[in-house]
Amino acid sequence: MPEILYFGPGCPGDDISLSAERASRINGMDVSVPSAVLLPVGGLGFFGWPALAGHRNGRDFLLNVQDWQVERTTMGVVLRGRDRVAAIAVAFELAIHDCGVVATAVSVTNHGTETYTLDRCMAATMAVGDGPAVLTSLSGMWGREFRLSSEPLGRGLWMQESRRGRTSHDRFPGLFLTSGRTTYAIHVGASGNHQLAVDLLDDGCRLVHGGELFEPGEVLLEAGQSYHSPQAYLTASFEGVDGAASRLRAVVDKSILDWPDVTARPRPVTFNTWEGSYFDHRLDALKAQAEVAAELGVERFVLDDGWFGRRDDDTSSLGDWSVDHRKYPSGLGPLIDHVIGLGMEFGLWFEPEMVSPDSDLYRAHPDWALGIAGRPRPLSRHQLVLDLTRQDVSDYLFDRIDAVLEGQRISYVKWDMNRDLTNAGGVDGRAVTASQTRALHALMERVRKRHPAVEIESCASGGGRANYGVLRHTHRIWTSDCTDALERLEIQRGATHFFPPSILGAHISGSPNHQTGRRHSLAFRAVVALAYHLGVELDPLTLAPDERRELAQWISLHKRLRPLLHASGASFAGDPVDGRYVWGAAMPDRIALFVAQGPTMLAEQPPPLRVAVPQATARSWRIAAVHPAAPAFIRVSSGQQALLAGDSDFSLDTLRHAGLALPMLRPESGVILEIEPV
Ligand code: GLA
């Protein structure tokens, strides 16, 4: 297999001498075998974790791919090799993006006459330098996804496997690995089961692998058939996890979000009906909410769950994608017209992959749900998953979604997915998760082709389906079902390690918060949401006049700062220090700096605020505006007053290294500083 000579910034180029074979031999083997190879397989005399594995009814249980050919492509290379004994061909595609991210994908083709069972095929293998290494990954649960944690790597194999049939809340398909002065990152752009492995080699280096995870016998390649992996994304930086994360955000902005019409226009401020109305859809109330939303400055009104079938709670109607005429006697038209008449776009919630046992669809087609004959089908949120790999199911869903969108001025779909896949067996009783997720992407693509002006949000009970694969068909991610601003500090910080703020939905919701019961000031809720794809998710009719005024001001501030906050490559974030979180965006001529305090500070004096702002060029800067006008600071000295009033200049080196003497904030409060060149 091709050897990885070096992976990282500052690649030495052609002079890296590499024709010389390694002198050492492993465990006395008579041939020297390189261990840092792309897709190591057992057939090499390689004793580590194989990245490719399969068999033909027990035979051809190892591969030795040879006869490699190199084909140059516009963005990289395709390496093709063959194992003539096993009659298996492998193609490794590699594309290099300008922002320093490498995208890879692997295909395996069966050239034999008998079925080949593909047990494993990683989409990427990356070599990491030797020595101690610290691994940073994202874990969590529903309502608390994207939780960053770091651990030193030991000598064993580190493995993460996710079997939920979606990227999941608990095991995000990506990680950072810091070894020596380099931080490496990998992300698998897949919506289904995945596997990440970090394997220690004999020379102390490590191989990091990422790809799909298959159930036993899930991928059978008949004669002539191929498996195509999802794409994986790799990068490395000398600027730590933040440096690697900013490259990943850049690849999303520049290469994954293939929506020129969308990047060209600002992300519309969204109003979502879920937490304000839940299943209680009353046309008059919704119209009145829309009126207030428009006055607040909202640009898109999204009608969430509850508009179809007879869906008065979460126990019924998924699959029956026609308007509930009890709630909307003349269809959705009057509400859509009203919303559009107020100057907003209209969006609608769907959960296409699901079916409620209490639905007309299920009564007519109980066999359309995934399951294993003879076994119960476990319900989750009272629902089952449809088998999208069946053409009739996929056609039905396309037709239903098309019928709702057709002729209506709907420009946005919130595409939800509220349960894990379990017992995911298809018609022939074999596992289908890998093909189900491909069928999902194909269905999204079909809807997009038919309705190119419709944007799609990827939601799975919040951020349960967030990955670069689904982002090729969608426009934003619902970051989390938890809208509590305190929780969101960590959730959003974690999510921005892989996604730019412009595509992460962040809503200002009611107080007390519906998930945690915490009460927060409107200012804190707004500061925490404002840098992302901003939304409002509460019943605006319940707001007092002064709250309406304040909310309108925050929305207007967001709109003013949005070109900076959502500019490609502008965003930054630091590690929290003593419960104080810092994030924002910088351009050569202005900086928006967000500071929020989670728990009470331990330090009697706040540590200087240091921020690794990128890009900005001017020599002298000052604070030009502070939002809210009276932040919840504790003890402000006269010098700090002068700083906040814009009377003290500072250099960016001060901001980066020495730090600003910002006063301490009360717990669960925040401030936005607009910083400009003097
Ligand atoms: C999921 C979503 C929520 C909301 C509900 C509706 O939980 O994440 O935002 O749409 O479904 O049932």
Is 258 catalytic? The answer is no
What is the distance between the alpha carbons of residues 349 and 344, in angstroms, rounded to a whole number?
Answer: 16
E-assigned strand segments in 129-167: 133-139, 147-152, 158-162
Pocket-forming residues, ligand 1, beta carbon under 6 Å: 274, 304-305, 314, 349, 416, 418, 459, 461-462, 478, 481
C-alpha angle 149/154/159, rounded to 5°?
65
Cα 143–149–151 angle (5° rounding)? Answer: 150
* Distance of CA 502 from the midpoint of ligand 1 (Å): 20
Amino acid 26: pLDDT: 62
| 3-class secondary structure, 427 | coil
Q: Which atom of ligand 1 is nearest to the CA of 461?
A: 8
Q: Which two tokens stand for residue 608?
A: 């200087």
CA 386 to chain CA centroid, nearest Å: 24
Closest by Cα among 469, 435, 442 to 118: 435
Q: What is the pLDDT of residue 263?
A: 53
CA of 130 to the centre of ligand 1 (A): 45
Q: Annotated catalytic residue: which of 416, 546, 575, 589? A: 416
Per-residue model confidence (pLDDT) at position 47: 84
10-residue mean pLDDT series, the chain (678 residues): 86 63 62 80 82 96 93 96 97 95 98 98 94 96 98 95 97 97 97 97 91 98 98 97 96 84 78 98 98 98 98 98 98 98 98 98 98 96 98 98 95 98 95 97 97 95 98 96 98 98 98 98 98 98 98 98 94 95 95 98 93 82 97 96 97 94 97 97
Answering whether pTM is above 0.75, one says yes
CA of 305 to the centre of ligand 1 (A): 7
Distance CA 358, CA 652 (A): 61
Confidence (pLDDT) at 22: 59
416 is catalytic: yes
Tell the residue nearest (CA) to atom 8 of ligand 1: 461
Please give the number of the atom of ligand 1 that sits closest to the Cα of 414: 10
Question: Token pair of 229, please?
Answer: 């992996």
Reduced to 3 states (helix: H, G, I; strand: E, B; else coil), residue 515 is coil
pLDDT reported for residue 593: 98
Asked if residues 122 and 51 have their Cβ atoms less than 8 Å apart, the reply is yes
| Amino acid found at 615 | Q
Catalytic residue among 199, 320, 420, 481: 481
- Among protein residues, the one with the nearest Cα to ligand 1's atom 6 is 305
Q: What is the CA radius of gyration of the chain?
A: 26
Using the mean position of ligand 1's atoms as its centre, give its distance from the Cα of residue 52 in Å.
38
Residue 352 CB-density burial (10 A; 0-12 exposed, 13-18 middle, 19+ buried): buried
| Distance from the alpha carbon of residue 670 to the mean position of ligand 1, in angstroms | 28
Strand intervals (E) in 522-579: 533-537, 571-573
